[in-house]
Amino acid sequence: MISQSNYVDLEISGKNLKNIDIDYKSSANDKRQLRSINFSCNHLVKLPMGLEKTLQFMNISFNKLKSLNGIEQCVNLKFLNVSGN
């Protein structure tokens, strides 16, 4: 996890994970916002739980995704890579 000011970038690639739930805030007062995720080269079959509208960059390439259900809440998404699914 890389944190710069109020942004969080999650990097969890190549771990052979089948399921990821996003929970990075340490408390209810944590003001950080999720900016980018890289979950490429895992075995995900669905999008992670906990995606936020602040998300701008998402790399979920080379997984086993069957749908993009949940992507609609990512209204600020500028980059999406789902190749190799």
pLDDT tens digits, residue range 3-55? 457 888 999 999 999 998 888 777 778 888 899 999 999 999 999 888 889 99
The full set of domain ranges for the chain reads 1-85
How distant, in Å, are the alpha carbons of 4, 27, 28 from that of 82? 26, 31, 32
Q: pTM above 0.75?
A: yes
34, containing H or E segment: strand 33-38
